[in-house]
Amino acid sequence: MPENRSGIGYDAHRLVLERKLTLGGVHVPHNYGLKGHSDGDVLTHAVIDSILGAASLGDIGTHFPSSDPELRGVSSISLLRRTKKMVAVEGWEVVFLDATILAEKPRLSPYFDRMKSRISKVLNLGSSDINVKATTTDGLGFIGEEEGIASMAICTLERTT
């Protein structure tokens, strides 16, 4: 029987003017974008944290600190590629991923297939091995007041060695 592990990730960023909104490596047209040292992609950041957690490799801030000037504006998809390589060295591969974006606006369902495609290509997952969805907070908190967007993810890793 294969050895499996699961990990959970979470990330949240403030919405600001004059930034592009990127989620799951996909540009989503909106009046606001996410503030962050990198591209602020909360979906991909949550995915990275879930993978690192399952592999017992710490968190995104440990490997990709916001104090690193070389990471300013970097695509979070490129950080996901690096994360996949890190866990592969430790003998793990992602076999399933489920993620939820928490946002009041914009409506995200038209972009789910592209988000899934971008992430699944990096992680070498089939379309049935990844799920991306969104929900609102019905006006509650910083998300409901449209001050920020958050994301949660859970992944399952399988031992390869």
pLDDT digits (tens, 9 = 90+) for 144-153: 999 999 999 9
Whether the pLDDT of residue 1 is over 80: the answer is no
pLDDT digits (tens, 9 = 90+) for 83-110: 999 999 999 999 999 999 999 999 999 9
Q: Which domain holds residue 40?
A: 4-159
Percent of the chain with pLDDT over 70: 100
How confident is the model at residue 84, as a pLDDT? 98
Q: What is the mean predicted confidence (pLDDT) over 27-33?
A: 97
Angle made by CA atoms 35, 36, 37, in degrees to the nearest 5 = 145
What is the CATH number for 116?
A: 3.30.1330.50
Total of domains in the chain: 1
Tokens of 22: 């990127």
Do residues 79 and 69 lie in contact, with contact meaning Cβ atoms separated by under 8 Å? no
Instruction: Give the whole-angstrom CA distance, residue 123 versus residue 130.
Output: 10
Q: What is the mean predicted confidence (pLDDT) over 64-74?
A: 94
How confident is the model at residue 8, as a pLDDT? 98
Percent of the chain with pLDDT over 90: 97
How confident is the model at residue 2, as a pLDDT? 80
